[in-house]
Each structure stands twice: as structure tokens, then as C-alpha cells.
Structure 1
Amino acid sequence: MTDQAVDTSSPAGSARTAGAGEPPDVMASQFFGRERELKSLQEDIERAGLDTLAGRKAPRARVLLIAGRPGSGRSALAAELAARLAEPGDYPDGVFRVALTEPGGERVPGERTARELLGMLSVAAPPGAGEDELSQMVREAFAPLRALILLDDAVDAEQVDPLLPDNPDCLVVATATGPLTGIPDVRPCTIGGMDAGSAVQMLARGIGQVRITVDPRAAQTLTEECGGQPAALALVSGWLAARPGASVADVTKQLLEHQEDSELPSASRPLARAFRLVHDSLPPAAASILRLLALAPAGTADAHTASALAGCSVSAAGTTLDDFVRSGLLRTNGAEPAQYELPGCLVPLVRAVLEERERPAEIQLARARMLERTVRRLQACRAVTDPEDSPARRKLAGLPRSLRFPDPGSAAEWLRVREPSLVAAARLAVRDGDLDTLARRLVAALVRALAVHRGTEEAAPVLYGLHGLVLDVAERRDLPREKAAALLNLADLDAGTGRTREALARYRAALDAGRAANDLYATGRAMESAGGAYAELGDFNRASDWYGRALAQRLGQGERADAARLYGRLGAVHTYAGRYGEALRDWRAAAAGHRRLGDLPAQARALSEAARVQEYAGRPQESLHTCREAVELARRAGDVRLQAALELRLADTLDRLGDPAAARLHRATADRLLVEEGSAYEIRSASIET
């Protein structure tokens, strides 16, 4: 075993080196050597840190850094280290891996990374929470654990530092191009190219030992031309594996004929030459698909994504993607249905050749096809949950079979697997700015699919970001109706997580946008929700003012059900403020409104609240009469649980009036009703939530 290592496919691979006589298998995950680096890293874990030497207890997790250029195998080395440490149970609470850089090279926002880690720990992250709050939640979640955190492709120390647990029992392994200046006591391990022995061994794994034995000197020269870089060697071995008649000398000659970009750093040129060799050897249709994969959101695609980008059939796209895996151009993540990922080191090269070979109009058309296909898949994902005879299912039956889902379970699994890419597609579409109509349709379809398959409460953190994207488009395109809707949705999520003042600001902004759009629904909802926010803050004067504005609009539009509900909300805030006369008037108005609508249970509840107000106001006899009226309404409505609750309230009132015998009779009636119903019921005051 040599002292170098590489994973020939997935960074998660950790299988040991195969024998030299094994048949070629470029798709197999195989790790070679790097024993010296692995031993050094493991020794660093046990080595005393600066705090220990100073006599202090280490306050945070130890950080090990694996530094190297993209394509050097740094992620594979980190994954192998994690696998070896996990095997003996050194970190029983698990290994948690997140990427800190987007496939295109942009840094992943800290808020998104923290949410991903919290999701792995099954910790609910509140929608709309900021990076600082989420980072604190990450540190608290890891505080009692003994876990290993792998932070892949860090840009700088500012990305890593907020995620470090305040727990010395945890270990953080980070990969980066350079040092993480600013993190104390970091343990760096810098890796370069592979040594000649490991590089030849990797080549033999891909093309078979015989072709190496025939011309060992050519194999040595080839590995030198590849700079010992695992990614470059994977590409040339894939090229040779697809051409059994070609010799190692042939590929070496062709590699030398490819002129690298003189502007590239010398360390990046071997990979660039290997990529150009493979790309230029592809059939035109396959080369076009490869180039267009640079447009795949989050660097991940499936057969449908590739089909839409290239304008070819799904089966042809799937076959081509599998060929790319065998060529070392793509890797799969093991999901079902298959998901394909461009290695991060190849993304800049693919994007460069895309811009060089494809016209901007063709690129934009490919993006539009991909977004349209994604919208249709999301619509099918949601529609499969509807009843068989529904219009959505009938429309779904008219779609091509490849776009449909056989059952809701498969649709939910597809949505779970593809969710990161779908959200990334929405972000990219909004950021692009030229496809706003498609972007809005995509976000709307994704929101509906998530709500159906995951529920709005569970999907709230994702929905918060999606509503924010809608708001961005609405503001850019000056669409006040969409702006009002997005602000209302965001405000509701803010209110649900206790950020009432932030919610209030958004409700008022939604009111302005609704007025600009002449959207009566949005303005009415914004005023009512603002009233609820003020009530939550304890400002009952402003709450009643906003409820009153909303009520006036509802009355003007003849919306009797909403008006009756708003009378109840007004009655509740007047009660909390101690304005019993106004409260009684509003509760009676609410009861009258429900009576006109024929809603006997709602009328009974409103009268019950009126009885409560009369009791607070020191009018027990009137309260008793009103409560009896409410009981009779509940009885007529056949609502046994409501009737039982009102009987108990009657009993409490009679006790306060000094009639315990009558109170006992009503309690006995309530007990009998509850026994018959088999459950208890509690009557609550009208809600003042938004």
C-alpha cells in the first residue's frame, strides 16, 4: 500500500485497494493509499491542543483541515478518514457531511448550511430564522453528542467558525483550497498529486492490468502528464476503458496534443487537458448534453433534467448519463430514481466549454425547457394525490407516461430526493431575471407540491424561502397583487414563530400592495392580520382599530360570514381591554350574524362569550339567562360536546349565585353528555391569532 489515495468515483467511497489482476471497473468506488496522511490526521486527533498545553479544557471541537486543489482527492480523503473513525465507534452519534460551496463556486449561505445540519439531527429550524440564531441552534444540538462533522469545500474560516460545536467530544474535518486563517489550533494536512505507484494503480483499476504491463513506461508518462491528479486520471482511464483498442501511449500522445489554457494555473492544467480530451472525443449529441448539464440546479440532474436541457427523449438522456458515469464525468448518489452529479472540479470546465460552444439564445432556450419540464413534473407530483375523478387527475392522464407518477408514494419520494435541486432551480430562475413567468409558475407548483406531500407546518422553512423568491420577482416586475400575497404568506410564517413585530411590518406592507392592486381580499386579510398582531403584542386599542377597519370592508362587500367572525374578534380584544360594554355589543352582533347564516354552534359560542362578559361586568343574572340561551342553541344544533361545556359554565355561574343544588344538576347533565359522547370538550374564547 502506497502513501497516496484517491476515490475513483464518489467522495463517500471507502473500499480498500483491489488486486492488480481484477477486471477494469471505472464505476467502482475505490480508495488508494494516503496511509501517511491518514495516519498523520489520526495522530493529530490525539495530540494535545494549545488549550490543553496551557492547562485549560478545550472549549470547542477539534478542527482538522485537509487542504488541496479541486480534483486532488481532498474530499475522498476526508470521507475515508470519517469512515475509519466511525468504524470502531469513536463517534457513535454519527458523521454529518455538508458542502460549503455551490457547484458553480459560490459560497453556500451559512443559514442554509445550518438548516441542513439541523435537518440531519431532526431538529426543527424555525422558518425565517437568521444565521446567528441557527448557528447557535447547531452548537446547542451538538453539545451533548460525540459526532464527526465533515465540512466540504470551505471558502474561508468565516464559513466554518459559526458551525463549530462548543464540545471537545466532537471532531470537525474541513476541506479547503487554502488555510483557514482565524480558527485557532487548526490541524492542516496539505495534499498534492498522487505518487507514481498509486497513480498507476488507479489507472490499472480503470483499464485493467494487462494494458499497463504491456507498456509500463507509457503508463508512468501518462500519470506524470496528469500531474498525479485523481480527477484527471479518472477521466483518461474512462476514455481508455471505452476504447479497448487504444493503448496507453495513444492517450498520452493525444493528451499532449491538447493545448491547455495558458491563463490557468499550472496545477490546474492537467485536469483541463484531460477534460478537453474526453469532451472532444464525445459524439456531438452527447457533448451537447454534457455542456448543458452545467445548467442543472445544484449541479444535480436526473434523466428528465438532461432530456429537457438537450431536447431529447428521457431514455436517450438516461443512457447518455450512464455513459458519462463510466467515463468519470459524472457520479451517482445512490438515490432512486438515479441522480447524477457533476464533480465540483469539473463544473468550471464544463461551464467554460458551454459558453464557448453554445450561443446565448440556445442556453436560454435550454433553461426554459428545463424549467417547463420541472413545472410539469411538480404538477403531476401534486395531482397524483387528488381523487381519481378529479379534473387534476384527468389532466394528469393526458401527460406522457414518463412525466406521470404511478402512486402518491413514488411522487413523495421523488419530491424528497429532488427537493434541494428543485429549490435551487427556483432560486436560479429568479436570479436569472429573464424567465420570471416560468420562475413564478415553478415556485407556485413547488409550494403546492410541498404543502400536499409534507404539510405546510413541516415544510414551513422551505416555504419561507420560496415566498421570499416570489416577493423578489413581484418587486422587480412591479406586480402588487403577487407582492401582497407573498408578504402575507411571509408575515403568517413570522407570526407563527413568534416574530410578531416583523409580521406586523409585513402585514402593513401587504396592505399597501393590496391597495395598489385594488385587491380587496388582500387588504381585508392584511387589516385583520394586523389586528391580530397588535392583539398578540397586547396593544388592544390598535387591535380593535384594525379589526374595525377590516369589519367595515367586509360589511361593505356583504361578506356576512367574515363580518360575524370579525365581530367576535372585536369582542375578544374589548374583553381583554376591560371594555365590557363594547365587548358585549360585539359578541351579540357576532351571535346575530351567525344566526342569520344559520350556524347554530357558532351562535351558541358567541352567546357563551357574551355571558362571560356579562359575568365580568357584574351582571350574573343576565349572564345566567344568556348562557341558558346558548345551551338551548347547542342542544338544537346536536353539538353534544358544546352543550356539555356550556352546562359546566352554567353550573359555575349558579355556584357564584349561591345555588349549589341547581349547579349540581347541571354538572350531572354535563357528565352524562360527556359519557355518551365519550370525550371531553373545552369552550375557548374567540382566537385573536392572525
Structure 2
Amino acid sequence: MTDQVVGGGHLAPGAARGAGAAARERRGALPRQDAATARAGLPGFAGRRHELKALRADIGRAGLDTLTGRRGARSRVLLIAGRPGSGRTTLAEALLREVADDYPDGVLRAVLTGRDGAPVGLARTARDLLAALGADAPAGADEDELAEAVRTALAGRRVALLLDDAPGAEHVEPLIPDAPDCLVVVVAQGPLTGIPDVRPCALGGLDTASAVEVLCHYAGPTRVTVDPRTAEAVAEESGGQPAALILAGAWLAARPKLSVADLRQALLAVPLPPDLPAGARPLHRAFHLTYGSLPQPAARILRFATLAPDGLVDAHTAAALGGCTMPAAAAVLHDFVALGLLRPVDGTDLAGAGPVDAGAAPRYRLPGCLAPLSRALLHDHERPADVQLARARMLERTVRLVRSCWAAAEPDGSPARRRAAELPRPLRFATRTAAAHWLRTRRGALLDAAAMAVADGQLDTLDRRLIAALTRALLAHQGPETAAADLYALHELVLRVAERRTVPRDRAAALLNLGDLDVRAGRTEQALGRYRGALEAARSVKDPVATGRALESLGDSYAELADWVRAADWYGRALELRLARGERSDAARLYSRIGGANGRAGRYEQALKDCRTAARTFRRLGDPAAQARAEEVAAGVHECAGQLDAALGSRLAALDLARAAADGELEADLQLRIAELLDRLGDPQAARLHRAAGERCRKEIPE
């Protein structure tokens, strides 16, 4: 979570004033901002000019390596340290805006603390950074491998990297690139002990003039000008903390009949816990003053906002958590922005326009400095059963949204499309592009929602539905290669649930899927362990489908390791199962695989016998393409045995079958392999003819 809403004098647009505010307050509604005013312009920046100048100077200052005559091998690291709410994130953003031109490859951002106040983990941060860089993250890679991938991707670039809300040096150091032309800006509460040559900038409170400027911007200049001394007193009692000043100013802006003195009196009247540190008192007072003025439905939404996956709140999430309608939730979130309680993601607040479909709802984030206060309210005011119910409502709506997203990628008239068309308008996507954009921008929140459901332990039906829907949506919109890393995380969650609930069938499926992804990532030894576990789970419940898949996967893995004897053995066990079930096509395919493995193992006679059995079965089944592939395997066995003429005969027979099957891709491959074989047999002219024919086939294959 980040406290960028309360940055170093972060000035948001002022609140609207008028008699309507008092009337709304009497009705118990939230004070409202004019929509045009709420969206007007970018926020300003008050104070911190000295710190900003010092940070810019530190970028170009010589480091320890340079002083010894060597150019630094790593990026310059700047630290902005301060308590949450001191404006540390806004100062970092102001610095990055000023130096953006010096880093033409862009600015990357990562928040290192999650919605629950715990570190998000190096693996999650590294994957997000790699996605922003357009680099692939290996599915199932460990933290060291992912961090190395980030450093490799940044090498040779000029990038500014903001690591916000860092819990400690151990979460930062692995991400520092070995690229002297990059800049790393870290926002943290304390020092980064253990990272050499860090340039720290410690933040305290704003000076009085800057603090009054923040208060004036939010509360309006008239009342501050009328009573400047009281305004200065409010600024001093707020400790110069921008977060407290913004909340206090927004509270006063919503009450045009009150004075700055009334604001000060109201702040001092807020009770303080006896053990609260002095530095935390200003923010506690300002937050509870604002919270105490909220109507009950809005106060409940604020409490439940800490449950939002990945800390992102939109109208869908707020409506589900608060148990209200989407328009009501959208209006509350819009007003929270005016009160300084939420910040629109990407600086855009479109709530006044109303969402036209599921992908148009704007997103908000609860500032990191306010999240602990809101979590404490949730703990104090909500029963565990009510929290559980709110979480279940949110996840149920998320399942429906993800299913609608998946349906948008399905053909018109498909059952999924028909079911999606029956959903309410706010749960539907206008186009496939809109659905893909929603999935991409909500990716982190959706994965966090799945992890939240699994961690809950009492929502095993919901979590399985969410994971299944999210898996389909990722495959439909991104494809198996792009989505591999996220699919790996989802299959690990399925495995966790299956082991917790002792469901062997689900455990076998999860292990098989994880094993497949491990093989693609080159972790064949790890995949073998997954497949053995899947085989054991499948056999325990007599699941022939999962058992057969596990047996074949074990054979494929040993073939990948070039252990051909074991590969043939596992294929043979799978063959016995297929024959017992009367699955002739699968049995023929396994005969072909066994023949290939035996050929590589030097068992040529047995290998050719297996290949002939496969080809004969495919012929009886009327599958010439599969028969051609069996003949190609036999050609490979002949090649291993040094029988090139026999290999040529089998390959030519396979070519005739591929033509009969009208399989252009297989025909092209066979033509090129025949050309290679003819070159080895000393017939270059015939080889050229087959090679030319193969290249023509390749060009004729539709893309």
C-alpha cells in the first residue's frame, strides 16, 4: 500500500461549497464535490523544495566507487525515509517527474507492502516488473531467478525505478540492477542497512507556511485568511503531516458554516488511545474526525475497503463488500476522494460519469497511512461472521465478472456468450478488447482475490470456482505461453486446497498441470516428482484418466532426460491401461512412442515391431495423418540403426499418407527430412527437389 494521496504537500482540487452541503449533512449523506472540480487538473506540490533539490543533487554526486577511480557497477539508490503520511511517496513522484527526461526508457513502480500490511514478496514484485518491461517471467521460478531476470532486463537501459513502502533492505537489494545508468528511488520508514552508498533523505513535518498552504487549498482561502493564527495552530498541532492536513482541510471544506477555530476544536475533541505515540496522534485525530462524520453505509464501506484484493477498490468491490447497489457505491467512492480517504488510480476519477460496462469502473486505492486505521475499525466494529459474509459477496461478484470476461472471448452464440448476455449490464463487457483490458489491469487484484479465498479456508467452493474461471479467462485472452506464470500460481492454489480438504482427484489434476509447466520451464526433475505424486493420488481414487496422463507424462519426462529405457517402461504401463479400457487410438499412439524410445535405446527389432503395430492400428481406424507419423517414427528407428535406404522408404510412405490426409504442415516437414536423408545418401539433385517442395508447402500453410 502507498501513501501517495498524502504526499509532501500533495494538493488535490478544492471542494465545492454552498448551501447544499449543509442540507446534505442534515440528511446524513456524504458531502459531495462538483464532478468537474473533482477532476480538474493535476495536484500541486507544497513544500519539500529543499529536499527535492538535495535529492536531485545526490543523483549526480560521485559515489564511493567513483572516488576510488572506478565507475559504479550498480544503480544509484536514493532513500526517502519517513513515517506513513509524511509525504514521502509524493516527494518521490515529484522527483521522478523532474528527472523523467534523463531516463528515456521510462519509470517503473512497485509497491512492496500489500493490502494487509505484510510484504508482497520478492517473487510477486519481480513478476510485475518483468510484465511492465515486456519480459517473460519463467513459470514457477524461484525468487533468486526472478530477481536475476529483472536485473538482466534492466541492464543496458536508462530506467528510473520507484520501490514504494519498502519493509526493509532485504526486499530492495535483490532488485537493484547492475546498471549505472538506472536510478532506484526507495520509499521506506527507516534506513536501508546493508545496501552500500545509499543517499538518504529523512522527512519530518512540513514547515508552517507550507502546512498552511495545504490546509488553505483544501479548506479554501477565505476562512484561513480570516483567522491565520488559528490556521497556523492547526498546522502545528498536525505536526506538519500532509495526511492529517488534507483530511482536516477536506472536512472543513464540506462544512462551509464552520470556521478554522471550529476545526481546531473538533480535532482536539477526538479522544486518543493512552498508548498512542505522539507522532501518530495528528493523523489519528484527523482520520477519526472524518470517519465520525460519515453516514453508516459509507463508514461501513471504508472499514471493508481494507479487504479489497491488492488494495484496489472499485464500485463492484465496494458494492459487494458494503451490501449496496453499484451506483450508491460509486457515489460513495467518488466522495471519499473529495474527503482525502481514497486516491483514484492513474489520477482518474470517472465515477460521476457512471460505468457503461464491467471494464469501465474507475479504481481507487486506500492510502497506506490510512489502511492500518481502517483495519483497526474493521476489527473493532465488525463481527467475524459479517466480515466472512462480505468477503464471500465480493468473491461471488468477482467470479461472475471473470466468467463474463472469459465469455467475451468466446464465439458469438456460444453457451458462455448466451449466459453472459443474461447478466446485468454492469457485469457485462461491451467488447472482447474491453474484457482483455480489464483482465490485464486487474490481474494482480484477481490473483490476490484467489489467494485470499484460499487462505480464508472457509470458502473452498468459491475459491475453486474463481480459480477455474480465472484460468479459462487467462487462457482465452492471453494464451498458454503468456499466462504460464499466472497459471502456475493458480495451480499451486488448487493444490493447496486439495491437500487441505484431502481431495485426491483435485490434487492429481493440480500436480499434473504444475508438472507440465515445470517441463516447459526446463525443470524436468521437479516435474518427475509432480507426476509421481499425481499418479499416487489418481490411483488412490481409481481415476483412469488422471492415471493414464500421469503415466504418459512420466514417460515424456524420461524421454526429455534421454533415459529411453525408463521412458519405454512408463509408456508400456500407460499402454496396458489404454488396452484394458479399449482405447485403440491412444494405444496406437503409445505403441509409436514406445517404438521411438526403444529405437533410441538400441532395441531396433522391438522398436520396428511397435511402430508397425501403431501404423496398422491407425490404418484400421482410418487416420492417415497418425499413420504417417508412425511411419516417420519407424524411419527414425531405421536411421538410428544405420539403415538409410529403409529409412527413406518409410519416410516416402509417410509422405504419401500425409498427402492423403491433406496435412500440409506434416507434408512440408517430411519433404525437408527426405531432402536431408537424400543428401546423406549422395543424391543432391533429388534432395533439392524435395527441399523446394517442402518450402512451397510451408508457404502455402495458412497462418
Same fold, judged at TM 0.5 (above):
yes
In structure 2, do the counterparts of structure 1 residues 574 and 322 end up closer, same or farther at CA, with 3 Å as the change threshold? same
- 2:168 matched to 1:156? yes
Q: Measure how far apart 1:671 and its partner are.
A: 5.1
- 2:111 matched to 1:110? no
- 2:143 matched to 1:119? no
In structure 2, do the counterparts of structure 1 residues 638 and 180 end up closer, same or farther at CA, with 3 Å as the change threshold? closer
Quick one: which of 112, 116, 119 aligns to 1:100?
112
Where in structure 2 are the equivalents of 1:329-340 lying within 5 Å? 329-334=341-346, 336-340=360-364
Q: Measure how far apart 1:355 and its partner are.
A: 1.3
- 2:535 matched to 1:521? no
Amino acid at match of 1:169: D
Specify the alignment match of 1:470 in structure 2: 494
Q: Measure how far apart 1:72 and its partner are.
A: 0.4
- 2:77 matched to 1:63? yes
In structure 2, do the counterparts of structure 1 residues 268 and 127 end up closer, same or farther at CA, with 3 Å as the change threshold? same
The answer as to whether partners of 2:672 and 2:694 remain within 8 angstroms in 1 is no
In structure 2, do the counterparts of structure 1 residues 240 and 527 end up closer, same or farther at CA, with 3 Å as the change threshold? same
Quick one: which of 66, 72, 75 aligns to 2:89?
75
- 2:333 matched to 1:321? yes
Specify the alignment match of 1:688 in structure 2: none
Where in structure 2 are the equivalents of 1:210-229 lying within 5 Å? 210-229=222-241
Q: Distance in 1 between matches of 2:317 and 2:281?
A: 30
Specify the alignment match of 1:481 in structure 2: 505
* Residues 38-86 of structure 1 deviation map (CA, whole Å, 9 limit, x = unaligned): 1111222232222333334323222211110000001111111111111
- 2:58 matched to 1:34? no
- 2:610 matched to 1:596? no
Q: Distance in 2 between matches of 1:505 and 1:513?
A: 12
The answer as to whether partners of 1:12 and 1:80 remain within 8 angstroms in 2 is no
Select between 307-316 and 567-576 the one with higher mean Cα deviation: 567-576
Q: Measure how far apart 1:623 and its partner are.
A: 4.9
Q: Measure how far apart 1:279 and its partner are.
A: 0.7
Q: What's the TM-score once normalised by structure 2's chain length? A: 0.89
Select between 619-628 and 427-436 the one with higher mean Cα deviation: 619-628
Amino acid at match of 2:90: A
In structure 2, do the counterparts of structure 1 residues 666 and 165 end up closer, same or farther at CA, with 3 Å as the change threshold? closer
* Residues 552-579 of structure 1 deviation map (CA, whole Å, 9 limit, x = unaligned): 1111111122112111211111122222
> 1:96 aligns to what SS in structure 2?
strand
In structure 2, do the counterparts of structure 1 residues 173 and 559 end up closer, same or farther at CA, with 3 Å as the change threshold? same
Amino acid at match of 2:98: R
Where in structure 2 are the equivalents of 1:273-422 lying within 5 Å? 273-334=285-346, 336-422=360-446
RMSD in angstroms over aligned alpha carbons? 2.8
Select between 332-341 and 35-44 the one with higher mean Cα deviation: 332-341
Q: Distance in 2 between matches of 1:419 and 1:73?
A: 28
- 2:43 matched to 1:43? no
Q: Measure how far apart 1:387 and its partner are.
A: 2.4
Q: Distance in 2 between matches of 1:470 and 1:631?
A: 44
> 1:538 aligns to what SS in structure 2?
coil
- 2:272 matched to 1:260? yes
Amino acid at match of 2:385: A
Amino acid at match of 1:258: V
> 1:188 aligns to what SS in structure 2?
strand
The answer as to whether partners of 1:14 and 1:79 remain within 8 angstroms in 2 is no
Amino acid at match of 2:64: L
* Residues 420-464 of structure 1 deviation map (CA, whole Å, 9 limit, x = unaligned): 111111111111212122111111111111111111110111111
In structure 2, do the counterparts of structure 1 residues 220 and 541 end up closer, same or farther at CA, with 3 Å as the change threshold? same
Amino acid at match of 1:430: V
- 2:526 matched to 1:505? no
The answer as to whether partners of 1:494 and 1:502 remain within 8 angstroms in 2 is yes
Q: Distance in 2 between matches of 1:120 and 1:502?
A: 29
In structure 2, do the counterparts of structure 1 residues 73 and 621 end up closer, same or farther at CA, with 3 Å as the change threshold? closer
In structure 2, do the counterparts of structure 1 residues 236 and 640 end up closer, same or farther at CA, with 3 Å as the change threshold? closer
Q: Distance in 2 between matches of 1:42 and 1:619?
A: 73
Specify the alignment match of 2:178 in structure 1: 166
The answer as to whether partners of 2:337 and 2:343 remain within 8 angstroms in 1 is yes
The answer as to whether partners of 1:304 and 1:373 remain within 8 angstroms in 2 is yes
Q: Distance in 2 between matches of 1:93 and 1:645?
A: 42
> 2:255 aligns to what SS in structure 1?
coil
Quick one: which of 137, 146, 150 aligns to 1:138?
150
- 2:556 matched to 1:532? yes
Identical-pair percentage: 55
> 1:535 aligns to what SS in structure 2?
helix
* Residues 272-292 of structure 1 deviation map (CA, whole Å, 9 limit, x = unaligned): 111111111011111111111
Q: Measure how far apart 1:677 and its partner are.
A: 8.1
Q: Measure how far apart 1:507 and its partner are.
A: 0.9
Q: Distance in 1 between matches of 2:293 and 2:13?
A: 30
In structure 2, do the counterparts of structure 1 residues 200 and 628 end up closer, same or farther at CA, with 3 Å as the change threshold? closer
Q: Distance in 1 between matches of 2:253 and 2:537?
A: 61
Q: Measure how far apart 1:679 and its partner are.
A: 4.2
The answer as to whether partners of 1:9 and 1:29 remain within 8 angstroms in 2 is no
Q: Measure how far apart 1:624 and its partner are.
A: 5.7
Quick one: which of 434, 439, 442 aligns to 2:466?
442
Specify the alignment match of 1:200 in structure 2: 212
The answer as to whether partners of 2:596 and 2:637 remain within 8 angstroms in 1 is no
